[in-house]
Structure 1
Amino acid sequence: MYQLKTKETENSVIEFIENVEQPKKREDAYRLLDIFSETTGYPAKMWGPSIIGFGSYHYKYATGHEGDAPLVGFSPRKAKISLYFATGDTAREALLEQLGKHTAGKGCVYINKVADINEDILKELIQQSVQFLKETYPAEE
């Protein structure tokens, strides 16, 4: 059976950020930590070895595959900083057009540094993603 690699862990977010080698990337990670924490109201948690996630939701696909994932998150990787937002919402694309210098993959948005993007648009993307996922995957009572 498929095992989800990215699970919430008890690892320290601060310890992880402190181990980011590049000082500027470490500084950006702390800035993103503040932005994501303030915008979501959720505490930062490590997901797997390298993703800092906020909140969580349980998804179940038509294929039967299901699991848990953070509502939003980021990872200060060596090459670029990965930002994780929900996919599938048209509002995401409109906001990305206003974000600033970035590239987008299927599920990730990649930036070189926080100074390259509009922080207000980043906050809107975070809020939009959280709202979209909560509506798409309502918590089962």
Structure 2
Amino acid sequence: MAKYEAKTTQTSLRPADYIASLEDGPRKQDAEILLPWFEGVTGLEARMWGPSIIGFGRYAYTYDSGHSGEFMLTGFSPRKANMVIYILPGYRDLSDKLAHLGKHKTGKSCLYLGRLSAIDMTVLEEIVRDGLAYMRKSYQTWDK
């Protein structure tokens, strides 16, 4: 059996350079807001994960299959359709906070937002902090 290679790994691209390369518009404007916002909320330096995800911190995981690797603790990606916020533990016990967040959709570990102007950033901060606390309690983590 072939060894599994993670598709999304840390790269040497600077997050600010990636954001600067985005097409001018609302998604780029929101990314320019989120980069320093995430750095302030997490206290961590931004790193690129793959070609389009801006991540903060990292953790080690091992699946039941034996596959292991590393991934970011939290982060975001300015996609064409939505701004995606990555909350790695998912959204268990966050229904009250999500009800007060503003317009959004959820995936397994993704929070899909339209414009930041429609989001309560204080609630988003609580959600990101809760996710970080869970990850740090549950996994071996690093700041870089």
TM-score normalised according to structure 1 size: 0.92
2:41 corresponds to which letter in structure 1?
A: T
Q: Could you say which residue in structure 2 is the equivalent of 1:3?
A: 5
Q: Could you say which residue in structure 1 is the equivalent of 2:124?
A: 122
Q: Could you say which residue in structure 2 is the equivalent of 1:31?
A: 33
Q: How many residues align?
A: 140
Q: Could you say which residue in structure 1 is the equivalent of 2:52?
A: 50
Aligned residues of 1:89 and 1:132 also touching (Cα < 8 A): no
Q: Say which SS state the counterpart of residue 90 (structure 1) adopts.
A: coil
Aligned residues with identical type, % of pairs: 38
Aligned residues of 2:90 and 2:108 also touching (Cα < 8 A): no
- Shift, 1:88, TM fit: 4.7
TM-score normalised according to structure 2 size: 0.90
Gaps of at least 5 residues in structure 2 are: none
- Aligned-partner Cα distance in 2 for 1:93–1:49: 31
- Shift, 1:53, TM fit: 0.2
The CA RMSD over aligned residues, in Å, is 1.6
Aligned residues of 1:75 and 1:82 also touching (Cα < 8 A): yes
**Do structure 1's residue 41 and structure 2's residue 54 form an aligned pair?**
no
Taking the TM superposition and a 5 Å limit, the aligned residue runs for 1:1-141 are: 1-88=3-90, 90-139=92-141
Q: Deviations over 1:56-112 (max 9, x none)?
A: 111112221211111100000111111100235623333222211001111211011
- Aligned-partner Cα distance in 2 for 1:121–1:82: 16
Gaps of at least 5 residues in structure 1 are: none
- Aligned-partner Cα distance in 2 for 1:9–1:54: 13
Q: Say which SS state the counterpart of residue 7 (structure 2) adopts.
A: coil
- Shift, 1:11, TM fit: 0.3
